[in-house]
Amino acid sequence: MLSSQIQKLNSTKPFSLLPPKPSLSSHGNTSSFPICYKQQKRLFPKKNPSLIVRASLIGKAISAIKDHTESISVKATVTVKVTVGGLISSIGITQPLEVLTDIIGKSLLLELVSAELDPSKYIYIYIYIYIERERERERERERALTETGLEKDTVKSYARILLGIHEPGEVKLEANFKVPDGFGEVGAVLIENEHNKEIFIESIVLEGFLNGPVTVSCNSWAHSKHDNPKKRIFFTNKSYLPAETPDGLKRLREEELENLRGNGQGERKSFERIYDYDVYNDLGDPDSSEDLARPVLGGKEHPYPRRCRTGRPRTEKDPLTESRSSDFYVPRDEAFAELKQASFGINTVKSLLHALVPTIETAIVDDKLGFPYFTAIDKLFDEGIELPKEVKKPWDEEFSRQTLAGLNPYGIELVTEWPLTSKLDPNVYGPPESAITKEIIEKEIRGFMTVEEALKQKRLFILDYHDILLPYVAKVRELEGTTLYGSRTMFFLVNDSTLRPVAIELTRPPIGGQPQWKQVFTPSFDATSCWLWRMAKAHALAHDSGIHQLVSHWLRTHCCVEPYIIAAHRQLSEMHPIFRLLHPHFRYTMEINALARQQLINAGGIIESTFSPGKYSMELSSVAYDKLWRFDKEALPDDLISRGMAVEDPTAKHGLKLTIEDYPFANDGLMLWDAIKQWVTDYVNHYYPEASKVASDNELQAWWEDVRTKGHEDKKDEPWWPVLKTQQDLIQCKAKELEATIDERNNDLKNTNIAGAGVVPYELLKPFSEPGVTGKGVPNSISI
């Protein structure tokens, strides 16, 4: 075909494709390649030598034509995961005809894509340029190359089911190919799924190549061509930086990213894999009730991270609010696997029943009442870990220990300024000075030292929820069945590890013509003071629990991470080494966040029904994002330093000296941090041996730009965002030996916060865990 086309061109007008005196003798007989080599007037522009076809290209073309006449046999084994419905369900068979087509191999088309370009097509390129673009500048050349399609033709074959040889839970399919000798390295596999339903492809293994098997780890869904006519692209396991992408894969690399970005239009369908941004405008349900209307989170009034766009229509009563539905879209690969979905559903129902049963009795009598008796509250905790029973710790001591080894070790911070003052507007919220005075503190520490000495020796610590809660006190108190204060809880470090609570301050701002009210409560022994101290602790614990769930857990862990996931899929190819580093740690996060919007953080949902701020809970998390969240303080070492819980010390382990030595969360967390950082450092330096590769990586820079300007748009102009210019910048942006060390600490009696009679060992950050609810084990991703 190549010869006949060139003959046709030569027959119309002879012209020179080569410099004078060409030599093709090394390429064998060229009689089937009748190009006129007679010296003619130069037709190519003299100053544009790139348009002249070189002899080497002609040689490659002849060699490629020869390669097309020889081939090798290659077998592809495709592993398909069986869904809960079994094989029939997993491949979407709806009619007997599809069973037949699967067995004979006519429902799943595979195409092998070469990582190399086709040299035999180069000659066409230059002829094309000469005839069609002779007078255009050099910048047109790249576009011309792309338009003519230099990629080698794909090699196609249908896959058929291998009956009777698959493992439990999976199905094997086989396809056989005749691959031309000169096809080169396989860089990708295209799949066209002709079933009526999507299928989950775990892997594709290609056998028969001289260099050994080629593995494609898919772990993804292949949509039905009836839903989307575009073929599904799966790249092989080899990673490439953008500039190092083989020529034969460059177009597919960009095409796949364009597919994942979508066009920002229309409502998303369940089979789609499109990642785009939107504000949190779907928490309210104004069409059902005015009481369920909620403000949009995201924008100037309520800054917030962005979520995945779903494109649902707006509500009738509020054009800013997106309507709710039974299913919230997440890109197909982000959805729970069926086993995870089933487990999540069962656990949710069990938890719901645990919460409902004690309240059903009182709901019959009066739906305004809470739990009927204290043992009903105890029943909520029937399922879980059996705690040590040898000795009961004093509640004040346990109250303090929980700040270092409990569920929210992120709240405690060192007191560095005295007296304590609020940063809120005193004209609105009243006098800023705290009622916790020097005299109160010194009385409670019984003359052990002065406040000034305690500050100097770093012995005063605080849970400070005063400024974040006080602006919502008046609003919350208008709600039925709840109340709120601003709170400060002070602790004194008795020795290197033991904290003791010394004062709790509760504050109410001016309301309804009444002036600001504040009172300090201290540990006491007479009946009235004792109950008041318990009441104050109950408020402080409620505030700490609420901030933990709304800020430490939901906001910092789930919500703020979603933009990184969206940006990674939009801007980093699946071939990118950084994408492959991050991807396992993104698993299920978007799905769990979508479920949270459905059931947990929505208007009238679990959070609003159980937390003190009620309907203002999510609005409060927006304030925390606005005032407290900054990327450069999210790394564990930086977080500890910002709270005064550690100082940089090059001589200390992990490069930090802890303010409280027995701080289990920090001790175990820093071990994990160092292990992860070392792994990431080695990985990054392997692909980026010099800083210039980081700065010139267009996908990496686009990802970081997407995170900052779209995912965290409301904070895009903050000065603290790092710039990705060096390997260290990139490393800053996310283990049996560790487990043994944690066990050793838990058995050391000098660590009074984690060891001793009646003390719960701190195992939350142990790297491994057996199945079930164990209170230990570090998950690979944020999925609960």
Q: Domain holding 541: CATH number? A: 3.10.450.60
Q: Are 253 and 206 contacting, i.e. CB atoms less than 8 angstroms apart? A: no
Q: Is the peptide bond before 419 cis (omega within 30 degrees of 0)?
A: yes
Which among 235, 261, 287 is the end of a domain? 261
Q: How confident is the model at residue 29 (pLDDT cuts 50, 70, 90)?
A: very low
For residues 630 and 635, what is the distance between their CA atoms, to the nearest angstrom? 10
Residue 465 maps to a domain: yes
For residues 36 and 59, what is the distance between their CA atoms, to the nearest angstrom? 16
Cα dist from 467 to 149, 305, 437, whole Å: 62, 22, 18
For residues 96 and 99, what is the distance between their CA atoms, to the nearest angstrom? 5
User: Residue 574 corresponds to which amino acid?
Assistant: E
For residues 426 and 429, what is the distance between their CA atoms, to the nearest angstrom? 5
Mean pLDDT for 194-222 is 93
Which among 497, 522, 550 is the end of a domain? 550
Residue 218 maps to a domain: yes
- For residue 170, what pLDDT is reported? 86
Helix axes 562-571, 250-261, angle to 10 degrees: 140
pLDDT in tens, 520-577: 999 988 889 999 999 999 999 999 999 999 999 999 989 999 999 999 999 999 999 9
Question: Is the pLDDT reported for residue 31 higher than 50?
Answer: no
pLDDT in tens, 317-332: 999 999 998 889 999 9
Residue 132 maps to a domain: yes
- Check residues 733 and 142 and name the one with the higher pLDDT: 733
Tally of structural domains, the chain? 2
pLDDT in tens, 141-156: 555 444 445 889 999 9
Residue whose C-alpha is closest to residue 625's, from 711, 701, 734:
711
Angle at 87 between CA 84 and CA 92, to 5 degrees: 95
Question: Is the pLDDT reported for residue 126 higher than 60?
Answer: no
* Burial group, residue 425, by CB count within 10 angstroms (0-12, 13-18, 19+): exposed
Residue 399 maps to a domain: no
Strand order of the sheet with strand 517-521?
413-414, 460-464, 486-493, 499-508, 517-521
Q: Strand ranges (DSSP E) for 38-153?
A: 71-81, 108-114
Residue 111 maps to a domain: yes
Are β-strands 277-278 and 199-207 bridged in parallel, bridged antiparallel, or unpaired?
unpaired
Residue 242 maps to a domain: yes
pLDDT in tens, 247-272: 999 999 999 999 999 999 999 999 99
Cα dist from 508 to 319, 464, 477, 484, 622, whole Å: 36, 15, 10, 8, 21
- For residue 94, what pLDDT is reported? 46
What CATH number is given to the structural domain containing 128?
2.60.60.20
Residue 76 maps to a domain: yes
Tell me, yes or no, if the pTM score tops 0.75. Answer: yes
* Burial group, residue 374, by CB count within 10 angstroms (0-12, 13-18, 19+): exposed
Mean pLDDT for 487-499 is 92
Task: Name the DSSP class of 550.
Answer: I
CA 582 to chain centre: 8
Which among 529, 550, 571 is the end of a domain? 550
| Token pair of 506 as six digits | 């509760």
Residue 665 maps to a domain: no
pLDDT in tens, 566-593: 999 999 999 999 999 999 888 889 999 9
> By residue range, what is the domain housing residue 546?
411-550
- For residue 434, what pLDDT is reported? 97
| Least reliable range by pLDDT among 92-106, 470-484, 490-504, 625-639 | 92-106
DSSP state letters, 389-434? -S-PPPHHHHHHHHHHHSS-TTS-EE--SSS-B--S-HHHH---B-
* Burial group, residue 215, by CB count within 10 angstroms (0-12, 13-18, 19+): middle
For the chain, the first-to-last Cα distance in angstroms comes to 60
